């Protein structure tokens, strides 16, 4: 896709460029088939090509559109594909799907539902204003029926529960003496942590403090991934620019950037350079770490506190798709294995949530179908605790099993403090 890897560049949304690249990549995928049954998008695409006797040009507009709609952006086909750059064929199927969504948005406008779901800050501010009321409303059958009719959010889907805002908690804290001796970080705490997962942010701060790391929380907005999922390049770019400005100042002050959410860390590392290419973006991106990645770095340097007070028992660790595609290894697994008496089983399966896709009425059943192998694996293990870095993956697992799923840093803090992790809650 020569000249079109930068998402904001004119060639990226060019219809002729998209048509040529679609035909080229579909033809390669039809000949390879390594990703058949990897996700609903590939299964539909390859089955449809077969129905046309291998004639890529015979695919209808509707059949191609269905391929794009069924791609939920897990990105796992990229590390699986043998033809990604620097191979001369330079296949990047996730980027092709993103290009198709952007071209559709340019042609048809960003859909109302995608504009609403893509504005995570607005939804969070409204929902967290009075969390108890918002959570009651989100469970009300009449409201959920109306939400399904107007926004297409499936009434059966459990929604995240709003909590106190993490940033307000952080502003009231006084760091313990001695922080800074092991490093300094800017916590890009993410929209889910800010509005629906304050406990994850609190655990991250307390774990970092225990190891002598100074924590700052610079002003920030949503990473922009929900907007980009809907083809809203302008909205994603606007958010990226604001975050790069404040994170850039944190880097100037000697901070590493630590991110507890894998979708957000992947967005910063892999999509920001495509939205806003340049030396300044690369300078900031070079300092971005997944939270588990950063804590393992502390351990390697001999700086991680290891005075654990209790075992976590048998832990099932769900490795999120957006963390696996960063190809940094299983850092959360490595961390939890430091806790004496703890065993960790890694589950490398997708939950089928991936941003807003799993919330949408027309994809709800497909989302559950993607998650079933993972859920069977978790049930077979029957662990003492289930952990995942991804809040949406946790939501899917919790809805199916009725048991609490923790972020790895929450489990680590519990081991420090000698607390057992509750199965429900």
Residue 8 has a pLDDT of: 74
Q: How many helices (H) and strands (E) does the chain have?
A: 23, 8
Q: Each residue's pLDDT tens digit in the chain (425 positions)?
A: 344 578 877 778 788 889 999 999 999 999 999 999 999 999 999 999 999 999 999 999 999 999 999 999 999 999 999 999 999 999 999 999 999 999 999 999 999 999 999 899 999 999 999 999 999 999 999 999 999 999 999 999 999 999 989 999 999 999 999 999 999 999 999 899 999 999 999 999 999 999 999 999 999 999 999 999 999 999 999 999 999 999 999 999 999 999 999 999 999 999 999 999 999 999 999 999 999 999 999 999 999 999 999 999 999 999 999 999 999 999 999 999 999 999 999 999 999 998 789 999 999 999 999 999 999 999 999 999 999 999 999 999 999 999 999 999 999 999 999 999 887 65
Looking at residue 231, what DSSP letter applies?
T
Distance CA 349, CA 37 (A): 13
Domain boundaries, the chain: 10-108, 112-151, 166-299, 306-417
Q: Tokens 């997708």 label which residue?
A: 350
Domain 166-299 matches domain 306-417 at the CATH topology level: yes
Distance CA 74, CA 351 (A): 10
What's the CATH number for 306-417? Answer: 3.40.50
Residue 12 has a pLDDT of: 83
Domain 166-299 has CATH 1.10.10: no
Distance CA 268, CA 413 (A): 26
Q: Which two tokens stand for residue 381?
A: 């293990």
Residue 233 has a pLDDT of: 93
Compute the C-alpha angle 176/179/184, nearest 5°: 135
**Sign (positive/negative) of CA torsion 362, 405, 225, 271?**
negative
Residue 3 has a pLDDT of: 41
Distance CA 370, CA 254 (A): 42
Distance CA 276, CA 243 (A): 11
Distance CA 223, CA 190 (A): 7
* Per-residue pLDDT tens over the stretch 175-216: 999 999 999 999 999 899 999 999 999 999 999 999 999 999
Distance CA 115, CA 111 (A): 6
Distance CA 333, CA 400 (A): 23
Residue 184 phi, psi dihedral angles, 5° rounding: -140, 130
Neighbours of 67 (CB within 10 A): 24
Residue 145 has a pLDDT of: 97
- Coil, helix or strand at residue 172: coil
């Amino acid at each position: 896709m020569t000249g079109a890897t930068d998402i904001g560049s004119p060639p990226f949304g060019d219809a002729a460029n998209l048509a040529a690249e679609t035909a080229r990549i579909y033809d390669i995928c039809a000949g390879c088939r390594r990703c058949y049954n990897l996700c609903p998008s590939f299964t539909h695409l390859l089955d449809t090509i077969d129905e046309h006797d291998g004639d890529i040009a015979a695919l209808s507009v509707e059949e191609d559109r269905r391929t794009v709609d069924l791609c939920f952006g897990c990105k796992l086909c990229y590390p699986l594909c043998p033809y990604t750059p620097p191979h001369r064929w330079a296949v990047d199927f996730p980027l092709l799907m993103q290009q198709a969504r952007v071209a559709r948005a340019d042609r048809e406008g960003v859909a109302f539902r995608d504009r609403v779901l893509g504005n995570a800050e607005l939804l969070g501010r409204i929902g967290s204003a009075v969390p108890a009321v918002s959570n009651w409303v989100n469970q009300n059958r009449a409201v959920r029926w109306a939400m399904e009719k107007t926004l297409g959010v499936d009434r059966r889907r459990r929604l995240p529960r709003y909590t106190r805002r993490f940033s307000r908690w952080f502003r009231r804290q006084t760091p313990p003496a001695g922080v800074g001796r092991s490093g300094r970080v800017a916590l890009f705490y993410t929209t889910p942590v800010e509005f629906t997962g304050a406990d994850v942010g609190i655990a991250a701060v307390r774990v970092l403090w225990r190891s002598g790391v100074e924590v700052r929380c610079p002003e920030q907005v949503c990473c922009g991934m929900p907007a980009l999922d809907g083809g809203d390049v302008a909205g994603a770019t606007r958010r990226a620019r604001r975050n790069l400005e404040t994170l850039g100042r944190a880097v100037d002050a000697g901070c590493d950037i630590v991110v507890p959410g894998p979708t957000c860390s992947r967005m910063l590392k892999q999509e920001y350079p495509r939205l806003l290419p340049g030396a300044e973006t690369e300078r900031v991106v070079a300092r971005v770490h997944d939270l588990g990645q950063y804590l393992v770095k502390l351990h390697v340097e001999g700086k991680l506190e290891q005075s654990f007070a209790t075992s976590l028992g048998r832990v099932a660790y769900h490795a999120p798709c957006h963390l696996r595609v960063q190809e940094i290894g299983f850092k959360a697994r490595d961390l939890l294995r430091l806790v004496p008496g703890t065993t960790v089983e890694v589950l490398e399966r997708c939950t089928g949530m991936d941003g807003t896709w799993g919330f949408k009425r027309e994809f709800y059943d497909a989302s559950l179908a993607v998650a079933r192998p993972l859920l069977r694996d978790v049930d077979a293990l029957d662990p003492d605790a289930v952990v995942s870095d991804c809040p949406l993956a946790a939501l899917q697992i919790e809805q199916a099993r009725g048991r609490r799923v923790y972020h790895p840093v929450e489990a680590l803090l519990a081991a420090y403090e000698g607390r057992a992790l509750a199965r429900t809650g």
